[in-house]
């Protein structure tokens, strides 16, 4: 057992209102600069929809993530030698047109235009060339247009549906969409790390945050292709790739990342997970529909004394283990099985998990009448307007059972609370519902509390980051430095040359 | 006089700039060592420029290097006419690839507004010098036959004399003007090398071929704590420094197992 720590995330999709506050918070803090205008380290997509960059989930086009080759995981974009040869021209590199050309407006024109019969206008100006442009796409071009055949029909995930189901999804009566906020997943088996020819991208051992060393990045741009979530971005001005840093400077001072902190819907949870790195190769090598389970298997129980012992041996200290015990992510992902990884079939072992949304039900029945009576216990789940296959395509490598359980459990919790607050349900039936999802009243109450009423401290359980230990990077034996003029990246205070 | 200036002073000045500024830039402004790729802004035309250019220039430079290192062997090799023809036409082929590449790259910079937006003055200078260099090279290859032999016989001794710090212009004095210009232009390229994007060739990521896929940087010394890597099983899972130097400075390397 090789116990490691990962700062991990849960997004509760039922709570996201699609306000984009998270994206703006991130943009203001990190990417409001030349060359980074088009980058949205955090973005919120409408599903069904094509997302950003357009159709990023289509790996036949973008060649992101891993695949099994001769029983070994290999990057979908090809092997090492190919990657070194492709530095001259990366055949699978998305271009700015797959995202959008950033623009601003010539606002001065509004004030400086000569007097005339017409209203002056502020023309859109490209932020790359400085010339007027016709805007053809933007960061949220298909925002809220789920269900519209123009954009949503190109959603790569719809291939999980039968032609009839596809047809139905676009029926006016079924019109449905939900939001999918996305940041870097800080994967365990990060494809960007593996693809970087310079070795500039790395995972921080102490918290699992994936970072790009800006000084070692040489602009070979393989990470842009390799990341199946398209969350590494090429800065066209500095010639370096950049990505979400999970606001590590904030985490190190005990604050939640900007997008978490600002989230209006309070959908975001952050906490530590202990996992067994020895199981990694195994977890990324199973069949698509087994991936969720295999990844869950990797996550260790922080209450297990043996795990704690191994963790301590690996240098994880007890206050960190303590934080892992209070981690909301551990509960959602491992204990409650409510949160699922996004596209586990990309095999990067993403560490951002989503609670799938309870979608509106399909109230209309075959003969055109609305029938709400005579419902089976979980029929609203089965009759959801968006077929469950779609959610399974997103969150469980096609395994419907995981999605079904997550939805049923959320629904059972609702029934349980309704019984308590409204009291118009049959208690026996509610208990039957809880039993069917392998749950009980106590757990239902906990799920309810952490979903609906959590305080900020319950949503973000940030372990102490122990940056003081970073000094060990510089010298194994800090006693050696005792009596010196400080420690760190600095010149020694010596006399003369 | 002018000969002394361009064939003695210029090469030493260029070499000094090359060495001093390259190192100084790496140490002081290591961030700026980047390929500065513009593929993100325009990819299609880049393919027709960058690929032939890089293959061509690698081949051509390799040829020059071999001639410089093993002149007598090259002369011996060229002793058989068939071999000479093969060598000459290979060289010409690489030269033509360079020419096609550089012309496409220049055309791309001129025509694409996005690419112009990321073009600096040094970029323009580099492109002009490279074009001149390649054009002269191809011209020489076409009109002054058997360059591989006379390069080894007369240009190489001159270049070697430079390295020996005993510059000797005898051998190159009778060379045609185009060849002389080719040599001088090469010195100019070496001089602006450290100021330009050309430095990317010094950070070509060859070590990627044998490094493990996953890299983890630890705050603490993992190697002391345990001795295995989870994946891939056979290798250590890498060691990188948090910032600055590459490869990671030994001794202060962070073990990542
Ligand atoms: S701020 Fe929160 S609620 Fe608003 S879009 Fe972002 S994730 Fe959704």
Asked if residue A274 and residue A125 are part of one domain, the reply reads: no
User: In this prediction, what percent of chain A has a pLDDT beyond 90?
Assistant: 73
Query: Which long-range CB contacts under 8 A does A302-310 form with residues at least 24 apart?
Result: A302/A274, A302/A327, A302/A330, A306/A1, A307/A1, A307/A3, A307/A274, A310/A1, A310/A2, A310/A3
Residue pLDDT, tens place only, B224-250? 555 544 444 433 333 333 333 333 333
Domain with A363 in it = 265-459
- Mean per-residue pLDDT over chain A, rounded: 91
Write out chain B in H/E/C secondary structure: CHHHHHHHHHHHHHHHHHHHHHHHHHHHCHHHCCCCCCCCCCCHHHHHHHHHHHHHHHHHHHHHHHHHHCHHHHHHHCCCHHHHHHHHHHHHHHHHHHHHHHHHHHHHHHHCHHHHHCCCHHHHHHHHHHHHHHHHHHHHHHHCCCHHHHHHHHHHHHHHHHHCCCCCCCCCCCCCHHHHHHHHHHHHHHHHHHHCHHHHHHHCCHHHHCCCCCCEECCCCHHHHCCCCCCCCCCCCCCCCCCCCCCCCCCCCCCCC
* Domain ranges across chain B: 2-204, 209-256
> Would you call A225 helix, strand, or coil by DSSP?
helix
Min distance B224 CA to chain A CA atoms (Å): 10
Residue pLDDT, tens place only, A233-262? 999 999 999 999 999 999 999 999 999 999
Chain-chain contact of A473 with B37 (C-beta, under 8 angstroms)? no
Mean pLDDT of all residues in A362-390: 69
Strand A66-69 relative to strand A232-235: parallel, antiparallel, unpaired? Answer: unpaired
Question: What H or E segment, with its residue span, contains residue A108?
Answer: helix A108-112
Q: Is residue A105 part of a domain?
A: yes
Say yes or no to pLDDT of A75 above 70. yes
Mean pLDDT of all residues in B46-54: 97
Residues B216 and B229: their CA atoms lie apart, in Å, by 11
- Mean per-residue pLDDT over chain B, rounded: 87
Instruction: Between B253 and B228, name the one with better pLDDT.
Output: B228
For the domain spanning B2-204, the CATH number is 1.20.950.20
Say yes or no to pLDDT of B18 above 50. yes
> Would you call A75 helix, strand, or coil by DSSP?
strand
Mean pLDDT of all residues in B71-84: 92
Asked if residue A430 and residue A285 are part of one domain, the reply reads: yes
Mean pLDDT of all residues in A249-278: 96
Residue pLDDT, tens place only, A308-329? 999 998 888 889 999 999 999 9
Q: Is residue A478 part of a domain?
A: no
Chain-chain contact of B39 with A221 (C-beta, under 8 angstroms)? yes
Contact, A94 vs A230, CB < 8 A? yes
A313 touches chain B (CB under 8 A): yes
A132 touches chain B (CB under 8 A): no
Q: Is residue A297 part of a domain?
A: yes
- Global pTM value: 0.90
Mutate to test the interface with B, among A76, A186, A215, A480 (most CBs of B within 10 A): A215
Chain-chain contact of A234 with B40 (C-beta, under 8 angstroms)? yes
Q: Which residue among A96, A129, A237 places its CB closest to the CB of B113?
A: A129
Task: State the complex-level ipTM.
Answer: 0.90
Residue pLDDT, tens place only, A419-444? 999 988 899 999 999 999 999 999 99
Confidence (pLDDT) at A165: 85
Q: Which residues of B touch A469 (CB under 8 A)?
A: 219-220
Asked if residue A271 and residue A127 are part of one domain, the reply reads: no
Q: At what angle do helices A400-421 and A388-395 cross, to 10 degrees?
A: 110
Say yes or no to pLDDT of B133 above 70. yes
User: In this prediction, what percent of chain A has a pLDDT beyond 70?
Assistant: 93
Please choose from A11, A12, A14, A20 the residue to mutate so as to test ligand 1's pocket, defined by most ligand atoms within 8 A of CB: A20
Lowest mean pLDDT among A123-137, A469-483, B193-207: A469-483
Mutate to test the interface with B, among A101, A225, A313, A473 (most CBs of B within 10 A): A473
Mean pLDDT of all residues in B86-109: 96
Give the residue on B whose Cα is nearest the Cα of A466. Answer: B219
Which CATH number belongs to the domain containing residue A364 in this structure?
Answer: 3.30.70
Encoded tokens for B241: 């420094």
> Would you call A204 helix, strand, or coil by DSSP?
strand
Chain-chain contact of B209 with A190 (C-beta, under 8 angstroms)? no
Q: Is residue A301 part of a domain?
A: yes
Q: Please give the backbone phi and psi of residue A431, each rounded to the nearest 5 degrees, phi first.
A: -65, -35
Give the end of a domain, one of A120, A135, A150.
A135
Residue A262 CA: nearest ligand 1 atom is: 1
Q: Is residue A145 part of a domain?
A: no
Q: To which residue do tokens 């904030």 refer?
A: A250
Mean pLDDT of all residues in A263-289: 95
Q: At what angle do helices B177-192 and B10-28 cross, to 10 degrees?
A: 20
Q: Is residue A448 part of a domain?
A: yes
Mean pLDDT of all residues in A403-416: 94
Lowest mean pLDDT among A176-185, A216-225, A406-415, B144-153: B144-153
Pocket of ligand 1 (CB under 6 A): A 16-22, 44, 179, 181, 263-265, 267
Ligand 1 centre from A319 Cα, in Å?
A: 31
Confidence (pLDDT) at B90: 95
Q: How many domains, in total, are found in chain A?
A: 2
Residues A352 and A13: their CA atoms lie apart, in Å, by 12
Confidence (pLDDT) at A364: 53
Mean pLDDT of all residues in B145-168: 92
State the DSSP string of A423-471. Answer: --S-HHHHHHHHHHTT--HHHHHHHHHHHHS--HHHHB-PPP--GGGGH
CB contact residues (below 8 A), chain A span 424-453, against chain B: none
Contact, A228 vs A343, CB < 8 A? yes
Confidence (pLDDT) at B185: 97
Q: Is residue A418 part of a domain?
A: yes
Min distance A94 CA to chain B CA atoms (Å): 7
Say yes or no to pLDDT of B91 above 50. yes
Residue pLDDT, tens place only, A91-110? 999 999 999 999 999 999 99
Confidence (pLDDT) at A81: 93
Confidence (pLDDT) at B53: 98
Lowest mean pLDDT among A10-24, A290-304, A361-375, B172-186: A361-375
Residues B104 and B45: their CA atoms lie apart, in Å, by 7
Q: Is residue A309 part of a domain?
A: yes
A337 touches chain B (CB under 8 A): no
């Amino acid at each position: 057992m090789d116990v490691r720590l990962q700062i991990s995330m849960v997004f509760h999709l039922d709570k996201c209102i699609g306000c984009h506050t998270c994206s703006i918070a991130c943009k203001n803090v990190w990417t409001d600069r030349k060359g980074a205008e088009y980058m949205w380290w955090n973005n919120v997509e409408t599903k069904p929809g094509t997302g950003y960059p357009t159709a990023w989930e289509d790996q036949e086009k973008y060649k992101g993530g891993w695949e099994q080759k001769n029983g070994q995981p290999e990057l979908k974009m090809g092997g090492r030698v190919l990657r070194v040869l492709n530095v001259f021209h990366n055949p699978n590199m998305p271009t700015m047109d797959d995202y959008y050309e950033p623009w601003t407006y010539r606002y001065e024109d509004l004030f400086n235009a000569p007097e005339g019969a017409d209203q002056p206008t502020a023309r859109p100006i490209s932020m790359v060339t400085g010339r007027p442009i016709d805007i053809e796409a933007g960061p949220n071009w298909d925002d809220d247009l789920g269900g519209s055949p123009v954009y949503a029909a190109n959603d790569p995930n719809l291939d999980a549906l039968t032609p009839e189901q596809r047809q139905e999804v676009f029926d006016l009566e079924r019109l449905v969409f939900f939001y999918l906020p996305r940041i870097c997943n800080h994967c365990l088996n990060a494809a960007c790390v593996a693809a970087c020819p310079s070795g500039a991208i790395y995972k921080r051992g102490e918290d699992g945050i994936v970072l790009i060393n800006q000084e070692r990045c040489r602009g070979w741009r393989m990470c842009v292709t390799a990341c199946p979530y398209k969350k590494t971005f090429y800065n066209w001005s500095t010639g370096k790739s950049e990505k979400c840093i999970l606001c590590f400077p904030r985490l190190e001072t005990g604050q939640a990342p900007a997008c978490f902190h600002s989230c209006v819907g309070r959908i975001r949870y952050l906490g530590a997970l202990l996992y067994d790195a020895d199981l990694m190769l195994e977890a990324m090598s199973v069949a698509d529909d087994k991936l969720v389970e295999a990844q869950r298997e990797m996550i260790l129980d922080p209450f297990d004394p043996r795990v704690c012992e191994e963790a301590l041996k690996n240098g994880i200290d007890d206050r960190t283990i303590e934080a892992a015990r209070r981690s909301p992510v551990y509960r959602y992902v491992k204990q409650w099985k409510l949160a699922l990884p996004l596209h586990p079939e990309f095999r990067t072992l993403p560490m951002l998990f989503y609670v799938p949304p309870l979608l509106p039900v399909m109230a209309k029945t075959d003969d055109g009448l609305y029938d709400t009576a005579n419902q089976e216990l979980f029929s609203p789940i089965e009759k959801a307007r968006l077929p469950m296959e779609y959610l399974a395509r997103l969150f469980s490598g096609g395994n419907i059972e995981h999605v079904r359980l997550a939805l049923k459990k959320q629904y059972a919790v609702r029934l349980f609370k309704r019984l308590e607050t409204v009291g118009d349900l049959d208690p026996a039936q509610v208990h039957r519902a809880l039993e069917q999802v392998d749950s009980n009243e106590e757990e239902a109450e906990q799920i309810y509390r952490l979903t609906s009423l959590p305080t900020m401290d319950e949503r973000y359980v940030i372990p102490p980051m122990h940056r003081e230990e970073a000094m060990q990077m510089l010298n194994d034996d800090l006693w050696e430095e005792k009596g010196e003029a400080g420690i760190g990246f600095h010149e020694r205070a010596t006399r003369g040359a | 006089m002018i000969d002394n200036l361009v064939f003695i002073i210029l090469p030493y000045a260029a070499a000094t700039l090359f060495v001093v500024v390259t190192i100084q830039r790496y140490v002081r402004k290591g961030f700026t060592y980047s390929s500065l790729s513009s593929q993100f802004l325009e990819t299609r035309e880049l393919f027709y420029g960058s690929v032939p250019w890089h293959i061509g220039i690698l081949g051509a430079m390799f040829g020059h290097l071999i001639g410089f290192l093993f002149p007598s062997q090259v002369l011996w090799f060229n002793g058989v006419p068939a071999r000479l023809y093969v060598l000459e036409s290979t060289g010409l082929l690489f030269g033509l690839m360079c020419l096609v590449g550089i012309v496409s790259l220049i055309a791309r910079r001129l025509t694409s507004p996005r690419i112009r937006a990321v073009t600096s003055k040094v970029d323009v200078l580099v492109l002009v010098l490279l074009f001149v260099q390649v054009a002269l090279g191809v011209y020489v290859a076409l009109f002054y036959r058997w360059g591989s032999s006379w390069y080894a016989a007369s240009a190489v001794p001159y270049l070697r004399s430079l390295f020996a710090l005993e510059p000797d212009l005898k051998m190159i004095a009778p060379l045609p003007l185009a060849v002389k210009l080719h040599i001088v232009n090469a010195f100019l390229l070496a001089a602006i090398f450290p100021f330009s994007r050309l430095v990317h060739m010094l950070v070509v990521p060859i070590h990627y071929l044998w490094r493990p896929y996953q890299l983890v940087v630890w705050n603490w010394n993992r190697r002391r704590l345990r001795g295995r890597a989870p994946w891939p099983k056979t290798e250590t899972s890498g060691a990188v420094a948090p910032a600055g130097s590459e490869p990671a400075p030994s001794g202060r390397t962070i073990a990542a197992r």
